[in-house]
A and B are shown apart, each in its own frame.
Chain A
Amino acid sequence: MAVVQINNVYKAYHDTEVEVKAINGVTLSFEKGDFAVVVGPSGSGKTTLLNLIGGLDQPTGGEILVAGHRLSELRPSELIDFRMEHVGFVFQSYNLIPVLTAAENVSFIMNLQKWPKEKRKVRTDELLSSVGLSDRHNSRPSQLSGGQQQRVAVARALATHPEFILADEPTANLDSKSAESLLDIMEKLNHEEQMTFIFSTHDIRVMKRAHRVITLEDGKVISDELSF
């Protein structure tokens, strides 16, 4: 069964004088273990699509199913819990809580899910060493480089085994070396934990690392190719 099923979804914005169809009839599905990238020119609807999948926004038409939940049926407060339980997020920036250490940031969602302390600690240690930061447990985000911060964000997103991880341009603020190593880590975790990754990018080198490339233009999918 698909992890995410998107059926004929529309998202229109009315707040300008002309209606903007940010997503204009998209049908897609993501399978467990996908390592998929969404590409397309600026304004093509990448961010909008990821937000819809993650339950941060509601479509104006069509339906989205995630792990058996029909997102349009969830009330706003249920959507928050849905995100906490089923979706891992990595944003372009401002991912971490500045007053907490790397380890505390990683265990944040485990905390929200009320994991016992011991279990949290084991999982945090495991993830921080997976992303190559086992020596930075007690560093504050401000003491980490941009690439290291994104790796902590990936570790946090992954911690509670969500259905998938959404990452909107996770490498946009990184130099190419850090971007490469973040991609390495994501790919490794995709492999090791069978974690589904859906991310977007502008960067052609990042695009080449994906196993599946979905291209958007004017809110429509114009190609969807596997590329190994």
Chain B
Amino acid sequence: MITEIAWKNVWRNKSRSLIVITAVAIGVFAGVFSIAAMNSSIVQRIDAAVNEELSHIQINNKDFRSSSDIQNIIRDYPSLITVLDSTPGVINTTGRIVIRGIASTASKSTGVEINGIDVEKEKRIFTLKDKLIPGTGSFFGAPTKFNSVFVGEKLAKELNIIRYTLTQDAFLKLESEGIPSAVITKLESLRDQKFPTDKKFSVAVENILASSEKNKFIYKIKEAAWSYREGSKIILSFLDINNNQTGAAFRVCGIFRTNNDMFESLSVFVPVNELRSLTGMTEGSYHRVIAKLENNDLTDKITPTLRESLPGFEVLSWKEIQPDLAMLADMMQQIYGIFMGIILAALAFGIVNTMLMAVLERTREIGMLAAIGMNRRKIFSMIMLESVFLSIVGGIIGMIISGAVIASTAKHGINLVKYSEGMEAIGYSAHLFPTIGVQFFITTTILIVLTGILSSIYPARKALKLNPVEAIRGE
């Protein structure tokens, strides 16, 4: 009955209640949606880390991490695989040879981590093959007779494998993408000039375009002009099993593009057999075993189990390999809570104000209720429920709108390409796909109810202070 009266009281002053409800709805929507957008980067970053770079769990020789000496191979690889295969939740495994080396071309050289991979098995664990820039090779296709390597775009640029030329094809592409003809005419002066670096090309474009045009179109222009020297080779040099300097030329059979510049410039992939024969490592020897789990939620559960059953190894989850990322994800959860809390605290003032008005204009009625025997607890609950209804109705509307907007943007995302360079340099996609966990919706609902309760305390206390005799007497 109290609930019913409280609900009906909410609608006594419709416009006033609707204003508060709208404010709550807008506030909750703004909060939830911006959090979803922020969360998008984290989720995508974790996704990339797991699906492109690390997978869920990595197992190394105990000494491998402190010294990535080529000697620190995994002993008894087959029985390790047996343990993994019999662990529930582990769905795929693969072994890698991992050695430090130097990648060089005629013009540049840089330090890299060379991964010798089993191409077929890796395809089942990582999505890296989808990151291959079309037309740059077929590293994941049939094995080649020559040494082949799969490198990141960033490294390719550093090694000057990629250059920029505005060819006829490039101009056609720009036209078809709707670049204004004024811009295209200006670009004509660069036709067929070869620019060896991203930087030089950017400067050249900048010099002939107005800065607004440049900001708007540089991304598309670069894409169109992008080309790599087909059949490029890079030299990978490293130490073999006997610590002798060795190396070989590898043909670039694929360039991958991710959102993580660091990963793109540091990791190169070659078929494990090629690396094994060059280093003199024996058949079946690996430095690292990578395990993919059914889903990411199992990571924290399976990692310690494996660590226990594999005492001779170093077992690391992706969270331990990239603790900054895991910490960031945790920290973001707290930031979301604080952010939502601030919004709700601001809304609480609106609710308090409305409820105070509601109580003050009903002094006689509340006095009458106390006079005829409605006890303090019931009067308090009535006011509190009224306030909770205001917040929860607004909150639910806000969350429904957020849910709908998140769902509608989740497919195509929100493009922040303008800022892409800054974001991708640190491993984050410039394309946001707002996402939010169910957990967050539950937490938000609880916070909203709490807001309603807290903002009712002051008005409800005011109601309880009313002296029924005076309330009734007051003419």
Q: What is the interface of chain A, defined by CB distance below 8 A to chain B?
A: 47, 51, 54, 56-57, 77, 80-81, 83-85, 87, 89, 91, 94-95, 97-100, 108-109, 111-112, 156-157
Contacts and interface: CB of A to CB of B under 8 A. Distances in A.
Most buried by A among B12, B372, B376: B372
Nearest to B375: A80
B20 to A, nearest CB: 18
Nearest to A111: B1
A91 B472 contact: yes
B373 A83 contact: yes
Contacts of A57: 469
A83 B8 contact: no
A99 B371 contact: no
Contacts of A157: 372
Contact of B371 (A77, A83, A97, A108): A83
Interface residues of B, number: 21
A109 B373 contact: yes
Given A80-B374, A81-B373, A84-B375, 14 more contacts: A51-B469, A54-B371, A80-B370, A80-B376, A83-B371, A83-B373, A85-B373, A94-B364, A97-B5, A97-B369, A99-B12, A100-B8, A108-B372, A112-B374
Interface string B323-367: 000000000000000000000000000000000000000001100
A95 B368 contact: yes
7 contacts: A57-B469, A77-B376, A84-B375, A89-B372, A97-B365, A108-B372, A157-B372
A91 B370 CA distance: 13
A156 B372 CA distance: 10
Contact of B472 (A94, A97, A100): A94
A99 B368 contact: no
A91 B375 contact: no
Main secondary structure of the interface of B (DSSP, over half): helix
B371 A56 contact: yes
Contacts of A91: 368, 371, 472
B369 to A, nearest CB: 7
Contacts of B434: none
A84 B5 CA distance: 18
B365 A98 contact: yes
B65 interface: no
B468 interface: yes
A51 B470 CA distance: 11
A80 B469 contact: no
A156 B472 CA distance: 17
A99 B373 contact: no
Contacts of B365: 94, 97-98
Nearest to A107: B1
Contacts of B371: 54, 56, 83, 89, 91
Contacts of A98: 12, 365
B472 A112 contact: no
Contacts of A111: 1
Contact of A84 (B8, B368, B373): B373
Nearest to A86: B373
Interface in B366-405: 368-376, 378
A80 to B, nearest CB: 5
B368 A94 contact: yes
Contacts of B468: 56
B9 interface: yes
B375 A77 contact: yes
B372 A81 contact: no
A226 B349 CA distance: 59
Contacts of A85: 373
A51 B469 CA distance: 8
A109 B46 CA distance: 60
B390 to A, nearest CB: 15
B9 A99 contact: yes
Nearest to B7: A99
Interface string B1-13: 1000100110010
A170 to B, nearest CB: 13
Contacts of B369: 97
A40 B301 CA distance: 84
Given A98-B365, A99-B9, A83 B469 contact: no
Contacts of B1: 108, 111
A108 B382 CA distance: 14
Given A57-B469, A91-B472, A81 B8 contact: no
B473 interface: yes
Contacts of B472: 91, 94
Closest 6 CB pairs of A and B: A84-B373, A99-B8, A94-B364, A83-B373, A111-B1, A80-B375
A126 B364 CA distance: 29
B12 A47 contact: no
Most buried by B among A51, A56, A80, A108: A80
A81 B368 contact: no
Most buried by B among A77, A91, A157: A91
Given A94-B472, A97-B365, A99-B5, A81 B375 contact: yes
Contacts of B378: 112
Nearest to B11: A99
A157 B372 CA distance: 8
Given A98-B12, A98-B365, A99-B5, A83 B473 contact: no
Contacts of A89: 371-372
Contacts of B375: 77, 80-81, 84
A57 B369 CA distance: 15
Contacts of B373: 80-81, 83-85, 87, 109, 112
A74 to B, nearest CB: 13
Contacts of B370: 80
A109 B372 contact: yes
A49 to B, nearest CB: 13
B16 to A, nearest CB: 15
A50 B59 CA distance: 86
Nearest to B368: A94
A51 B468 CA distance: 10
Contacts of A109: 372-373
A169 B371 CA distance: 16
B30 to A, nearest CB: 32
A181 B450 CA distance: 50
Interface string B454-475: 0000000000000011001100
Nearest to B369: A97
